[in-house]
Amino acid sequence: MARQAEHLRRKRQVQAGIGGALALILLVLGTTWLLGGFDNKPAETELASCTWTPKEVIPGSGVTETGLPPTSGEPRTGAHLLRIMTPQGEIQAVIDVSRVPCAAASMKHLGSVGYYDGSVCTVLDTARQTLTCGDRAGNGTGSPEYQFPVEGKPTEPVGTAAPASPVASPSPSESPSVVPSYYAKGTIVLNTLDQNANGGQFSIVYGDGSDLPPEYTPVGTITSGLEIVEAVAAAGALDANNAPAVVGKPSTELKIDRLLVQDELLVDPTGSASPESTPSTSPTPSPSASS
């Protein structure tokens, strides 16, 4: 009888232990489910700081000595005012800092060291309706001494691209494919140095229906002065032999006297920019070019 009682007691202890373990497992699984541990959608994370990858300054490489922007503390909310001063007038754009904080920080840094001062816009693409500026080397290789990842790429088109001029008339049974347009008229995008790498060059979309692919950082939206770019575009592009071309050097020169990024803005990023104060436009020393 004593052995039977002892056997029953041990059996109850084992059953109690198993029951407790199962209860603990269920509690852990339930908590994990409530916290979204079984959600297949990866959580979106925001980098705590911008990553500036240095580039070596080598004579003839097009890389200009500029120093690096701050590695932390860049604003991540609000709107900044981008001001581009040219002999034809001033171009102003609004930067949505919450969407492109690192691009905003880079443009502000490059403007503060005079990187853009005296540079001319180098390429006019009348097919994609873009004017490329910010190349100090003047040959497509111009870059500050760092690069950083692309951010804020558009995911939804804003319209359809303007159809290209057909080389041959399509047959009646054929219809032109619809190409989405991701960058609206007046958008300023950063040109890429490589896949997922921004530099200092930027392009201004001056017309509706650009077929520029959604691979570029939209650094700002022009609120005034777009007519300056439209006038340059209207004059056309020239090839290496100074003959009219679809893509080439702008026939009318557009030089950047100075570029500044101003923190204060009276309105939100979707409205018209109005600076709270006007910074001094006295020139600052330009960075030393390597080419």
Residue-level pLDDT at 277: 41
For residue 227, is it within any domain?
Answer: yes
Residues 247 and 153: their CA atoms lie apart, in Å, by 24
For residue 282, is it within any domain?
Answer: no
For residue 58, is it within any domain?
Answer: no
Which of 93, 277, 113, 283 shows the shortest CA–CA distance to 190?
Answer: 93
Looking at the structure of the chain, the number of domains it has is: 1
Residue with tokens 């030089």: 255
The CATH number that applies at residue 123 is 2.40.100.10
The residues near 93 (Cβ < 8 Å, ≥ 6 apart) are 81, 82, 84, 186, 188, 219, 220, 221, 222, 223, 273
For residue 41, is it within any domain?
Answer: no
3-state secondary structure of 221: strand
Residue 284 reports pLDDT greater than 70:
no
For residue 202, is it within any domain?
Answer: yes
Torsion of CA 184, 185, 190, 191, to 10 degrees: 100
Answer yes or no: are the C-beta atoms of 283 and 258 closer than 8 Å. Answer: yes
Alpha carbon separation from 62 to 140, 144, 205 (Å, rounded): 8, 8, 24
For residue 254, is it within any domain?
Answer: yes
What is the pLDDT averaged over residues 125-129?
Answer: 97
Residue-level pLDDT at 282: 40
What is the pLDDT averaged over residues 231-257?
Answer: 98
- The tens digit of pLDDT for each residue in 187-227 reads 999 999 888 899 999 999 999 999 999 999 999 999 999 99
- The tens digit of pLDDT for each residue in 54-64 reads 999 999 999 99
- Higher per-residue confidence, 190 vs 25: 190
Residues 238 and 62: their CA atoms lie apart, in Å, by 23
- Range of 250's domain? 78-160+180-262
- The tens digit of pLDDT for each residue in 134-153 reads 999 999 999 999 999 999 99
Read off the tokens for 208: 């509706």
Answer yes or no: are the C-beta atoms of 62 and 139 closer than 8 Å. Answer: yes
Q: What confidence category does residue 43 fall into, taking pLDDT thresholds of 50, 70 and 90? A: very low
- Higher per-residue confidence, 35 vs 146: 146
- Higher per-residue confidence, 84 vs 4: 84
Answer yes or no: are the C-beta atoms of 191 and 183 closer than 8 Å. Answer: no
For residue 123, is it within any domain?
Answer: yes
Residue 44 reports pLDDT greater than 70:
no
What is the pLDDT averaged over residues 92-100?
Answer: 96
> How high is the mean pLDDT of the chain?
81
For residue 8, is it within any domain?
Answer: no
- The tens digit of pLDDT for each residue in 162-196 reads 775 444 445 555 556 789 999 999 999 999 988 88
Residue-level pLDDT at 194: 83
